[in-house]
């Protein structure tokens, strides 16, 4: 693996930020839509039939979980569809690597940008649900920092898939087989400890479950020692996978 | 005055060659794209690579602008090894890739400003250069347009402008005018000639002979991954085909004609119904054919061009 330069990565991040600035409101609105629909349907619709989960009103339980999925989608869309269009159709990477930036800088810049979008989407969503009175602790102020970590994690995973993805059509598989099941089985809509032991063990292996667990604890002020392991899990997985997209993208772009 | 006393490293490269390749080789699996070629580009010149599709021109360009590692051989650009100092080399290059790679999410002007940032120019300087360059390539009035609203010629000129934001010592152009109409091509040539007068060394690839003849001081002709000829365009024409070409159409007996013209022709090329005779004295050759009363439907005398050299050396088979 050739070394990336932090300055080079920052330059590519800056390009993305420059472009994003102008489509910011629309783009944010679209990425919001999905979690908000879930919030309305589950929180108010389904919630009307449920009393409480673990002592929490269902709306509070779901909303504090959906914050994390909003953040996940922010990073995931950036590093799947957006990155692929930039790389394959727009040939933006081909242009940038003729400058002092190299492939590694571009990939790392894209991952950092994915994490940034994750923080943006997650935080704005957090502010929206706070209006429903679901945030109960000042520890919630740490959630954006958590989303920087989880954003890096989801960006690294998505970018790895993008680097080996033969065609834009295959992102459907990424979403159908990875993102959607994770969305359903990571403790967003129901607590994992209510499930058979093997299911909650399987869920523990999914990246999103750790984000949900930690973000909810921060929003509600119920942080315990075990939450430390969620953070460690994310950091270890992110660090371990980080070289993958960088190496695979070089292999793809430089023959 | 500071600008005239350039950095010492630059002064050194200016004395020696800008690009020096020896035994340069590129393989993609079993495919030999570039097969041990050697060449040298001198400071301030315009150096052209000619060749049919698949000859290895683009692979060579990509190795020069450091996005494709050579399989073997040595390649020095601006006095540095492409394998170890790609970043430093690229900081001093301007590159026009074969495909347009403009950012469609950005305006014409923003394309230049953002690109300048990759070279660490401050925003202010980036904006100043962008405006100057848009003026230079006659796109100032389109500064706020979207890239999609530009014609093919305008996009190509914007690519050239973008390659110049870093004030490069070496400009690499991979087929700068392919697909452009004659007016757009003339305008691009004019800009490249203007740049050359300011001392920017240029390397370009093309399969337009008139482009090579119009712009290049020296060229190499590549075919099947190798260099088959090298020199100034006029010298190549003289050395390989002579001064003039007589084109004969509608021949009844090509063999008889060759016999008649004898040593007046330095060489010939036979096509389905066309015979090309390379000669130093076309008038004399035509006179002899008429004298002998040989039947020819049409006879044309013209100056030999690079195209004759090209076809003679690379053959007439279609390359894809």
Which residue among A14, A95, A255 places its CB closest to the CB of B117?
A14
E strand spans, chain A: 52-53, 56-57
Q: What is the pLDDT of residue B210?
A: 86
Say whether pLDDT at B310 is over 90: no
Q: What is the pLDDT of residue A12?
A: 97
Rounded CA Rg of chain B: 23
Q: What is the pLDDT of residue B157?
A: 93
Answer with the residue of higher pLDDT: B157 or B295: B157
pLDDT digits (tens, 9 = 90+) for B115-124: 999 999 999 9
Say whether pLDDT at B24 is over 70: yes
**For range A19-30, the mean pLDDT:** 81
The answer to whether the Cβ–Cβ distance between B101 and A95 falls below 8 Å is yes
Q: Sorting pLDDT into bands at 50, 70 and 90, what band is A49?
A: confident
Q: What is the pLDDT of residue B318?
A: 58
Which residue among A15, A91, A255 places its CB closest to the CB of B99?
A91
Cα B215 from Cα B168, distance rounded (Å): 19
Cα B123 from Cα B111, distance rounded (Å): 13
For residue B220, what are the β-bridge partners? B49, B230
The answer to whether the Cβ–Cβ distance between B110 and A18 falls below 8 Å is yes
pLDDT digits (tens, 9 = 90+) for B161-198: 999 999 999 999 999 998 888 888 999 999 999 999 99
Q: What is the pLDDT of residue B8?
A: 40
The answer to whether the Cβ–Cβ distance between A98 and B65 falls below 8 Å is yes
Answer with the residue of higher pLDDT: A232 or A53: A232
Cβ–Cβ < 8 Å for A43, A189: no
Say whether pLDDT at B88 is over 80: yes
- What is the value of ipTM here, to two decimals? 0.89
The answer to whether the Cβ–Cβ distance between A19 and B87 falls below 8 Å is no
Q: Sorting pLDDT into bands at 50, 70 and 90, what band is A1?
A: very low
Q: What is the pLDDT of residue B9?
A: 43
Q: What is the pLDDT of residue B1?
A: 28
Cα B68 from Cα A253, distance rounded (Å): 9
Q: Sorting pLDDT into bands at 50, 70 and 90, what band is A79?
A: very high
B111 CB near a chain A CB, below 8 Å? no
Answer with the residue of higher pLDDT: B283 or B202: B202
How far B88 CA sits from the closest chain A CA (Å)? Answer: 7
CB half-sphere exposure, B175, CA atoms < 13 A = 17
Say whether pLDDT at B111 is over 60: yes
Which residues in chain B are contacts of A90 at CB distance < 8 A? 101, 103-104
Answer with the residue of higher pLDDT: B128 or A128: B128
How far A147 CA sits from the closest chain B CA (Å)? Answer: 27
- Joined tokens for residue A88: 């394959």
Cβ–Cβ < 8 Å for B301, B282: yes
pLDDT digits (tens, 9 = 90+) for A117-158: 999 999 989 998 888 889 999 999 999 999 999 999 999 999
For residue B88, give the chain A residue with the closest CA: A100
The answer to whether the Cβ–Cβ distance between B67 and A254 falls below 8 Å is yes
Q: Sorting pLDDT into bands at 50, 70 and 90, what band is B286?
A: confident
How far A153 CA sits from the closest chain B CA (Å)? Answer: 26
User: What single DSSP character describes residue B297?
Assistant: S
**Which domains does chain B show, CATH number per domain?**
18-232 (3.40.50.300), 242-303 (3.30.70.980)
Find the range with the poorest average confidence among A25-39, A52-66, A196-210, B296-310: A25-39
Say whether pLDDT at A32 is over 80: no
Strand B72-77 and strand B80-81: pairing?
Answer: antiparallel
Burial class (CB in 10 A: 0-12, 13-18, 19+), A50: middle
Please name which of B225, B226, B215 lies closest in space to residue B306, comparing C-alpha atoms. B215
User: What does the domain layout of chain A look like in residue ranges?
Assistant: 6-253
Q: What is the pLDDT of residue B168?
A: 96
How far B309 CA sits from the closest chain A CA (Å)? Answer: 33
pLDDT digits (tens, 9 = 90+) for A181-199: 999 999 998 888 878 888 8
Say whether pLDDT at B142 is over 60: yes
Helix (H) or strand (E) holding B50: strand B46-50
CA A102 to chain centre: 25
Rounded to the nearest 10 degrees, how much is the dihedral formed by the CA atoms of B229, B280, B207, B18?
Answer: 40
């Amino acid at each position: 693996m050739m070394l990336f330069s932090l300055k080079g990565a920052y330059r590519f991040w800056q390009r993305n930020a420059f472009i994003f600035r102008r489509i910011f409101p629309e783009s944010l609105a679209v990425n919001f839509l999905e979690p908000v629909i879930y919030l309305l349907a589950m929180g108010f619709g389904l919630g009307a039939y449920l009393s409480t989960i673990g002592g929490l009103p269902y709306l509070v339980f779901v909303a504090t979980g959906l914050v994390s999925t909003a953040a996940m989608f922010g990073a995931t869309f950036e590093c799947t569809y957006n990155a692929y269009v930039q790389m394959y159709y727009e040939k933006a990477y081909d242009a940038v690597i003729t400058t002092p930036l190299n492939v590694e800088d571009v990939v790392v810049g894209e991952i950092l940008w994915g994490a940034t979008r994750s923080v943006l989407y997650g935080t704005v969503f957090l502010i929206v649900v706070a209006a429903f009175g679901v945030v109960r602790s000042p520890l919630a102020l740490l959630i954006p920092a958590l989303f920087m970590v989880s954003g890096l994690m989801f960006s690294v995973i998505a970018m790895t898939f993008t680097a080996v993805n033969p065609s834009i059509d295959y992102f459907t598989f990424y979403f159908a087989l990875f993102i959607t099941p994770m969305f359903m089985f990571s403790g967003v809509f129901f607590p994992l400890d209510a499930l058979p032991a093997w299911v909650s063990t399987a869920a523990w292996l999914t990246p999103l479950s750790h984000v949900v667990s930690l973000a909810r604890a921060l929003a509600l002020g119920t942080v315990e020692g075990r939450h430390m392991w969620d953070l460690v899990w994310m950091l270890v997985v992110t660090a371990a996978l980080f070289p993958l997209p960088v190496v695979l993208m070089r292999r793809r772009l430089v023959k | 005055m500071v600008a005239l006393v350039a950095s010492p490293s630059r002064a050194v490269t200016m004395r020696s060659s800008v690009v020096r390749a020896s035994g340069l080789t590129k393989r993609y699996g079993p495919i030999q794209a570039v097969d041990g070629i050697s060449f040298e580009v001198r400071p301030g010149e315009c150096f052209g690579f000619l060749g049919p599709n698949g000859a290895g021109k683009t692979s060579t360009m990509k190795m020069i602008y450091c996005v494709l590692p050579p399989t073997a051989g040595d390649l020095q650009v601006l006095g540095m090894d492409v394998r170890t100092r790609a970043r430093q080399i690229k900081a001093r290059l301007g590159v026009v890739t074969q495909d347009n790679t403009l950012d469609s999410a950005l305006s014409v002007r923003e394309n230049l400003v953002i690109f300048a940032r990759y070279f660490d120019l401050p925003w202010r300087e980036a904006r100043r250069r962008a405006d100057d360059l848009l003026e230079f390539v006659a796109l100032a009035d389109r500064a706020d347009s979207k890239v999609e609203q530009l014609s093919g010629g305008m996009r190509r000129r914007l690519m050239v402008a973008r390659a110049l934001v870093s004030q490069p010592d070496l400009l690499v152009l991979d087929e700068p005018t392919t697909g452009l109409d004659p007016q757009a091509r003339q305008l691009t040539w004019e800009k490249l000639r203007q740049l050359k007068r300011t001392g920017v060394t240029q390397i370009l690839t093309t399969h337009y002979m008139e482009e090579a003849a119009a712009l290049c001081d020296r060229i190499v002709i590549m075919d099947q991954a190798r260099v088959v000829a090298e020199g100034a365009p006029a010298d190549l024409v003289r050395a390989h085909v002579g001064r003039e070409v007589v084109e004969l159409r509608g021949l009844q007996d090509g063999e008889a004609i060759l016999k008649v013209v004898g040593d007046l022709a330095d060489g010939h090329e036979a096509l389905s119904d066309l015979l090309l005779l390379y000669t130093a004295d076309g008038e004399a050759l035509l006179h002899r054919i008429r004298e002998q009363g040989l039947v020819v439907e049409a006879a044309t005398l013209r100056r030999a061009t690079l195209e004759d050299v090209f076809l003679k050396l690379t053959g007439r088979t279609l390359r894809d």
